[in-house]
Amino acid sequence: MNSKLFQVTVLVLLASQYARTENEAKAIEKIFSACKKSSPEFDGCMKRALNKIRPYFKSGIPELGIPPFDPHFAAEVRQARSMLGVGYQLTLRNVFERGWTDSTVTKFKTDWQNERIIYSQYFPEKWLEGEYEFKGDALGLSDQRSGHWNLTLRDYSQTTRIKRRGAALDVHVEIDRIGDMDIHVGNLLRGRSVLGEFAL
Residues 56 and 109 in one domain: no
Residues 111 and 185 in one domain: yes
**Domain termination residue (choose one: 32, 48, 67):** 67
| Mean pLDDT estimate for the chain | 81
Whole-number Å distance between alpha carbons of 23 and 188: 50
Whole-number Å distance between alpha carbons of 99 and 8: 40
Q: Is the per-residue pLDDT at 16 higher than 50?
A: no
Residues 79 and 104 in one domain: yes
- The verdict on whether omega for the bond into residue 71 sits within 30 degrees of 0, i.e. cis, is yes
Whole-number Å distance between alpha carbons of 2 and 80: 64
Give the range of the structural domain holding residue 92, as residue numbers without chain letter. 70-200
Residues 54 and 127 in one domain: no
Residues 1 and 47 in one domain: yes
Q: What are the pLDDT digits (tens) for 38-70? A: 889 999 999 999 999 898 888 887 777 778 889
pTM above 0.75, yes or no: no
Whole-number Å distance between alpha carbons of 183 and 129: 10
Residues 100 and 145 in one domain: yes
Q: What is the pLDDT of residue 159?
A: 95
Q: What is the pLDDT of residue 17?
A: 43
Residues 27 and 16 in one domain: yes
Task: Kindly tell me the burial class for residue 42, based on how many C-beta atoms sit within 10 Å of its own C-beta (0-12, 13-18, 19 or more).
Answer: middle
Contact between residue 56 and residue 70 where contact means Cβ atoms under 8 Å apart: no
Whole-number Å distance between alpha carbons of 117 and 95: 25
- From the list 184, 120, 127, the residue with the least C-alpha distance to 153 is 127
Residues 189 and 150 in one domain: yes
Residues 86 and 179 in one domain: yes
Q: What are the pLDDT digits (tens) for 97-155? A: 999 999 999 999 999 888 899 999 999 999 999 999 988 876 555 778 889 999 999 99
Residues 8 and 63 in one domain: yes
Q: What is the pLDDT of residue 69?
A: 83
**Domain termination residue (choose one: 67, 82, 110):** 67
Task: Kindly tell me the burial class for residue 97, based on how many C-beta atoms sit within 10 Å of its own C-beta (0-12, 13-18, 19 or more).
Answer: middle
Q: What is the pLDDT of residue 83?
A: 77
Residues 55 and 83 in one domain: no
Domain count, the chain: 2
- From the list 71, 190, 51, 82, the residue with the least C-alpha distance to 125 is 71
